[in-house]
Every structure is written in C-alpha cells, then in structure tokens.
Copies of this chain bind each other. A is one copy, B any other.
Amino acid sequence: MTTGLQLRSLIKKSGELELSLAKVEVPEPGPDQVVVKVEASPINPSDLGLLLGPADMASAQASGSGDSVKVTAKVPANALPFLAARLDQSMAVGNEGAGTVVRAGASDEAQALLGKTVSMVGGSMYAQYVVRKARDCQPLPAGTTAAEGASWFVNPLTALGMTETMKREGHKALVHTAAASNLGQMLNKICLEDGIGLVNIVRSPAQARILKDIGAKHVVDSSKPSFQDDLVQALVETGATIAFDAIGGGKLAGQILTAMEIAINKSAKEYSRYGSSVHKQVYVYGGLNTGPIEIVRNFGQAWGVGGWLLTPFLQKIGRPEQTRLRERVVNSLKTTFKSHYTKTISLPEVLDLKNIAAYNKRATGEKFLINPNKA
C-alpha cells in the first residue's frame, strides 16, 4: 500500500495551532474512484482561514526538519468560541489543485482518466495523493499542465460569480477592489470579453499600470489625493452600483457607497430626503484587512454591505449553470483564466516560517503554488 504526506492543521483546546505533515495511507480506489498524484495546488486567501485560523503568526515557532517539520503558534483566547467545531481535530487543507491520475477503479469512467491530467476541488489538496470520484475530476485539454490547471476553480468562478451576481441583482456595472490581483486580472478579461463596465480600485501606481497594460478602462488609485473624485467620475461613466471588496477592514466599503451616492445624485432630478432610492451594494468576499469595517453613513438608506462566498453562490445558481461556467474556465486556462505564481514550494516548505510570513501577507500579485510531489 502506498503512503503519502498530507498537510494537517490542528487547533487545540489549549489555544495552540499546530501545523504538521502526516504520513497517510492511500487507499485502493473504489470502482468509480481514481487516485491522483497532486502536482499543483495554490495557496489562496480562502485556504489561509483553515490553515492558520486566527493564530497570531508573529508567535510562530518551528521544530524538526524535512517531513517531520512542525510549526506551532498561539491562538487568541477570544477567538476560541468561534472555533468550537474544529478544536482538537486534525484538519486536511487545500481547496483546489491538479495532478495526474495514477490509479483508477474498474468502472469505464474511472479507467478513461488513467494517465490524464485533471483539476479538482473539495479539500485536502495539500497532499501527495488524493482519492476522488471520477466524475468529480475535470480532465484538462491536451497541452494544459497541472500548474496551469491548479487555480481553475476558486479565482475563475469567483470572478465569474461577480458578473453573474451583478446581473442577477439588477446592476449594470461593477466595482472591484485590490483589483490588480490574479482574480482582478481575470475579472478585467471577463468584463472586456462580455462588454461589462468595471471600475478597478488599486492601491499604487504600479498596480494601476498592471491593469492598464491588460486593457482596463477604469482604474482608480486609492493612494492618490484625488481618489474620491476619480472614483465618482468612474462611477458616473460606468453606472456601477455594486462592488466586490477583497479588503474588508477599514473605510473603503463606506467610501465606495458614498461615491456611488454622489454619482447617482449628479443625475437625480428630485430631492429624496432619505437619499437616492437606487440600491447600492458592497459584497465583502475577502479579508486582506481583518480590522473592523468602518462605515460613515452619508448615502441614504438604500444600501447593503454583506459577505459573499463562492459556495452559496454556486448552490443558488444550480448545476447546469455551474457546468456552463466551469467549461468556460477550462477552455481558457492559458488566456482569460491564467494565474501567475511567485514561487513553487514543496510540502515541507509550506511550513517554513519565512514562507508563511510571505504568503500570510496576502500581498496583491504574490501567490504561492504548492507541488506536493516536488523533490
């Protein structure tokens, strides 16, 4: 029987996070299952919640080496009540990835995948081997590598989920923050392809340049003194009344609502004592700033701020629509949905304190890829 390494995250009742590599047996596949050798899995911000939890990584300590490496860190006591359901349970990590099918069950569907490169989703991808149902594996087009197919799900479907949500909730254009990210670049390509107005908010001239270079029309830099005026102008030009915010903490969500209200009032014909009656929405889908959200209300009563997550969105749209979106992604992994990585690391390197400090910064444009079978 084969064994393989699997990354584990454990938060103890005592308030300690422990990261380690477990040696786990790889079971024989059932008739409709396959064993996939994982060759590429990204570290997404959405993985960090499970991997590191709310631990204070400034307190992190490493011990051991190679496959025996272990990292521990303190979890603040006031965070423990929110973690009741995972305490003292060793959790496998990793939302999405790709690899090669190395063993297959007896069914035709499983056998057909043998030797193929496939993309997957659904957890425990930070492992050398995973077992999956054949029908949950997405074969990649010939010539597409595991590294190219690793980030096929979270970012691409989140970006498509934004434009779909915009349409379903009756808005005609959208705003995106931290817009120079991998996801933000995908969103620009989607909006250009689909003729959708997009206002990109970035935090530096360098990030603005990245987006201008891929053809973005509306790029607003929040580091400039003219930020609010620039944002209002872009909102007037696009008519955007919904925003997707990766940052969360701080004043930005409120500033976007304020700018939307000013843009709407510029064309208002009649005074409404409660502000405009146009609904203005900010969905917070990330937490690059985990501090408090601060909202100064000067935009009337037709507003909402709320969380947005991919999984409930996919449940809402249903299977046939999901399939349509997935197929769009898989057919454009080298173009619209191409991801860029800063560094490719092995499983022990995921537990390297310097690497943790780097990927835990969640810096725009910096992204790590894990190859669990890297020598």
Q: Mark A301-321, 1 if CB is under 8 A from B, else 0.
A: 111111111011000000000
Measured between beta carbons, the chain B residues less than 8 angstroms from A304 are 304-307
The 5 A-B pairs at the shortest CB distance, nearest first, are namely A304-B306, A85-B271, A301-B307, A86-B271, A50-B273
Q: List 24 A-B contacts (CB under 8 A).
A: A81-B262, A81-B265, A82-B261, A82-B262, A82-B265, A83-B271, A84-B268, A86-B273, A91-B271, A248-B297, A249-B297, A274-B309, A277-B312, A285-B301, A290-B297, A293-B294, A294-B294, A294-B295, A301-B307, A301-B308, A301-B309, A303-B307, A304-B307, A305-B305
In the complex, A275 has a CB within 8 A of chain B: yes
Using C-beta atoms within 8 Å of the partner chain, give the interface range for chain A: 35 or more
A261 and B79 CA atoms in complex are apart in Å by: 12
| CB < 8 Å neighbour of A296 from B81, B262, B292 | B292
In the complex, A298 has a CB within 8 A of chain B: yes
On whether the beta carbons of B269 and A85 are closer than 8 Å, the reply is yes
Measured between beta carbons, the chain B residues less than 8 angstroms from A82 are 261-262, 265, 275, 298-299
In the complex, A15 has a CB within 8 A of chain B: no
A271 and B50 CA atoms in complex are apart in Å by: 10
In the complex, A27 has a CB within 8 A of chain B: no
A89-B271 contact in complex given A297-B293, A302-B312, A303-B306, C-beta closer than 8 Å = yes
Measured between beta carbons, the chain B residues less than 8 angstroms from A266 are 84
A321 and B295 CA atoms in complex are apart in Å by: 34
In the complex, A323 has a CB within 8 A of chain B: no
In the complex, A300 has a CB within 8 A of chain B: yes
In the complex, A30 has a CB within 8 A of chain B: no
Closest to A290 in B: B297
In the complex, A287 has a CB within 8 A of chain B: yes
On whether the beta carbons of B292 and A287 are closer than 8 Å, the reply is no
Measured between beta carbons, the chain B residues less than 8 angstroms from A307 are 300-304
On whether the beta carbons of B298 and A309 are closer than 8 Å, the reply is no
Q: How far is the CB of A287 from chain B (nearest CB, A)?
A: 7
A300 and B290 CA atoms in complex are apart in Å by: 12
In the complex, A365 has a CB within 8 A of chain B: no
Q: How far is the CB of A97 from chain B (nearest CB, A)?
A: 17
